[in-house]
Amino acid sequence: MNNKKIAIIGLKGLPAFGGAAAVGENLINHLKDRYDFTVYSVNSHTDKVTNNISGYKQIVFNKTLGNSINTFVYYLKTLFHVMFVAKYDLIFLHHSESGFITPILKIKYKVVLTIHGVFHNKTDPKFNKISNFLFRWFEKLNMKYADFIISVSQQDASSSKKKYKRDVVYIPNGVNIPKLEPVPLEKSYWLFAASRIYEIKGLHLLLEAMKTKKFTNRLKVIGDLEQKLDYKRKILTLSQGLDIDYIDRIKNKTALFQMIKNSKLFIFPSIYEAMSMMLLEVASLSVPIIASDISANKSIFSDDEMLFFKSNDSTSLGNKLMFAERNKKLMLQNANNAFTKVTSKYNWENISKNYENIFNSFLV
């Protein structure tokens, strides 16, 4: 018997190099023998072309200039294709801001939605005021029309239930433990990494802390710093006098993980996250972590698993950096504790079974 056909919308491109795409890619890898997946993508997010890849099909559209316009056109092209060109048994939709297509999808399909962060009354500085307003409206449409809603964040699941009077099921993200080369005996650098670097990732807080406390430690920064040019200028100004290597986004996961594994401290100063794949992945590498005390981080890890600083407070971060330098043995013990939690609780094999049960409830 042929597998049921599921269209995946919102990942925008595989292979994944972070975020929602990494979530979707891991689910596909664990469930591709049970379902016939088609992933809708755009060539701003992948260097692949339309083809069958490793057990799933990827349809790749041409990009449109401008981040917001590109995303909007991508969803419109995908909507047209699934409504008038292809036929599926279920739609697996990602991101709360995709909701403007959901009422139309519902004419023909059941829709399972995974949200990777909510807007509610928040704004994302990467987008302008009009885009942020529209995204909040689109989120409302998704919450109203999707047949089943999943959140990767326990806090977002709770707040969405309260705000929209809908059942929202919390299913966390997970990790795959990579096989890497042995690490050097003497680790020489701190590390910050984010797929897209702008205000909410908090790099400026780290640089301010390093300057205030006069740290001479070498820092490697990995990620795309071209998201907002005014923020890039701010970062480069703050960098003056510091020992920093800027490295563009590394799409090869093994190469990225090797650089993380070889670092002596990972700093995660995000001001907002839903549930960070990066944080889970670093913990799976047994690297000591200093992280902001936002609820998304503290709902997963405890004080004996990583060192927390007061969110959006560079002075607090500076103090914690000094503590980490003076208490390296404790930091390594915390890293071992975080590794134990991640490998036992946040593995994709178990997480994918939850998604499989949800899919099957609609594939009768």
Domains (range + CATH), the chain: 4-174+347-362 (3.40.50.2000), 189-345 (3.40.50.2000)
CB 103 within 8 A of CB 75: no
Q: What is the predicted pLDDT for the residue at 234?
A: 97
Question: What number of other Cβ atoms are within 10 A of residue 143's Cβ?
Answer: 22
Q: What is the pLDDT of residue 104?
A: 98
Rounded CA-CA distance 204/176 in Å is 30
For the chain, where are the alpha helices, taking DSSP H only?
A: 19-31, 67-84, 102-105, 129-145, 154-164, 203-212, 229-239, 253-261, 277-284, 295-298, 314-326, 328-345, 348-362
pLDDT on residue 238: 97
- Concatenating the DSSP letter of every residue in 235-276 gives HHHHHTTS-EEEE-----HHHHHHHHHT-SEEEE--S--SS-
pLDDT of amino acid 176? 81
CB of 325 within 8 A of CB of 264? no
pLDDT of 179-235, one tens digit each? 888 887 778 899 999 999 999 999 999 999 999 999 999 999 999 999 899 999 999
pTM for the predicted model, two decimal places:
0.87
- Those residues of the chain that have pLDDT short of 50 are 1
Distances (CA, A) of 76 to 9, 64, 81, 82: 11, 12, 9, 10
pLDDT of the residue at 121: 62
Indicate the helix (H) or strand (E) that contains 58: strand 56-61
Query: What pLDDT is stored for residue 1 in this prediction?
Result: 44
